[in-house]
Every structure is written in C-alpha cells, then in structure tokens.
Copies of this chain bind each other. A is one copy, B any other.
Amino acid sequence: MPAKVTVLRSREVESEATRRAILDAAEHLLATVGEAGLSIREVCARAGVTAPTIYHHFGDKAALIARVVDDCFAAFERAFAHRTAPHDPVEALRWAFDRYVEYGLRHRIHYRLMFGTRHARPSTPGLASYDNLRRRVMAIADAGRLRAPLEDATAAFWASVHGVTSLLISEFWSPENPAIALVRDAMIDQLTIPRLAKPRRTKGTSHE
C-alpha cells in the first residue's frame, strides 16, 4: 500500500530529493567559503545537477541563499530549545545571552547572513526568533521585575547581544574578552530588578 503512494508520487519525491541536495550543497558551501565564495557552479557540482535545475527550483542565487538562511533561523532556535534555561526569568535571560553569543560564534557566516544585512522583508523564521526573545523579557515583566517598557527592553537586549556577537565574529574581540560579560550584566542589572523588591522608577534603590 505505501508502494502505491510512492510509485504515484515518485516524480515529486525525486524532485524534492533534488531540492534537498541543492540546499545541502548550498548550506555546506555557505558555511565553508561564505556568501561571496559560494558559486552556483560549485553548488551544481556538489549537488550533481546543472544550473537550470537550480534556477527552476529557487529562482536565483539570492533566493537560494534566503532559503538556506530560513533553515539557519530554525537551527538557531533549536540551539536554545535543546538545553533547559534557568527557572529565574532574569537568570534565564542571562543564560540566553550566552547561548546567543555561543551560537553566533559557532556559525559565524550563518549569523552574518541572518542578522548582518536585512534580506528583503524579515522572514517568518526570523520574526519567530525575535518573538522568542520577547517572550523571555515578558516573563521578567510578568514577575514585576522589568524596569523599562517591554518592547524597548527587548530591543535593547537584542542590540547589546548583537553588538557583542558582531565584534566577536569580526574578530575584533577574542571570546575571552571580559567585556562580553560586562555588557551582558550591565544591561541586565540596569533593566531588571534582581530580587522581588517593589519596582521603582529611580535607579539605584536596591542597597547591595
């Protein structure tokens, strides 16, 4: 019985296999030689197809790369989902900061493609990724421990972790730079309340 389906759709299955072969080859080359170094011709050689096949399935080089980047966002979120975050929402955010930097450092080229330049409109996986961060900040707000508006605080955290990751990827910094933790803790200490104290707007109300 499964044979029937397989036989009936053998053509589509074959076509989909070709798509995957192309995507796999593109992803591998992207991680190896980067966007500038990736050539359609090399993808062809690795995937065992010829150029028109790629253009038939993906349109052009930019669309192919955009497709790979979408898969990268999925992998990016998986990097967070695989491990379990601390229970305390503020500590969970600190933890997420480190995971974010860690991922960026391990997938430099992919990170640049995801966040280095905006490719057309922000993709759905990209938005989902940002929503993930917002949910973490919202957990802090729900605990009454956020010192700034939700949207602003989320954006601010993103900017700081993105800045750190960018400098690491560009090799302006080494991964041992103490400034990494300094940025992380400065932003968290300033925008959140460490314990369950009355949330006050003026800074420096918690003695020690």
- Give the interface of A toward B (CB within 8 A): 36, 115-118, 122, 148-149, 151-153, 155-156, 158-164, 166-167, 170-173, 177-179, 182-183, 186-187, 189-191, 202-208
The reply to whether B187 and A159 form a contact with Cβ atoms under 8 Å apart is no
Whether the pair B116, A170 counts as a contact (CB closer than 8 A) is: yes
- Assembly CA distance A115 to B136 (angstroms): 30
A159 contact set on B, CB distance < 8 A: 160, 163-164, 166-167, 173, 179, 183
Please measure, in the bound complex, the distance between the C-alpha atom of A69 and the C-alpha atom of B153, giving whole angstroms.
34
Of B166, B173, B202, B204, the contact of A203 (CB 8 Å cutoff): B204
CB distance from A23 to the nearest CB of B (A): 23
Report the Cα distance A158→B160, complex, angstroms: 10
* Residue of A173, A187, A190 with most chain B CB atoms under a 10 A cut-off: A190
A190 vs chain B, min Cβ distance (A): 4
**12 A/B residue pairs, CB under 8 Å, sorted by A:** A115-B172, A116-B116, A152-B179, A155-B179, A156-B186, A159-B167, A160-B160, A160-B187, A162-B163, A166-B166, A186-B186, A203-B204
A158 engages B167 (CB within 8 Å): yes
Q: Are A182 and B118 in contact (CB under 8 A)?
A: no
Chain B residue at minimal CB-CB distance from A186: B190
A172 neighbours in B (Cβ, 8 Å): 115, 118, 122
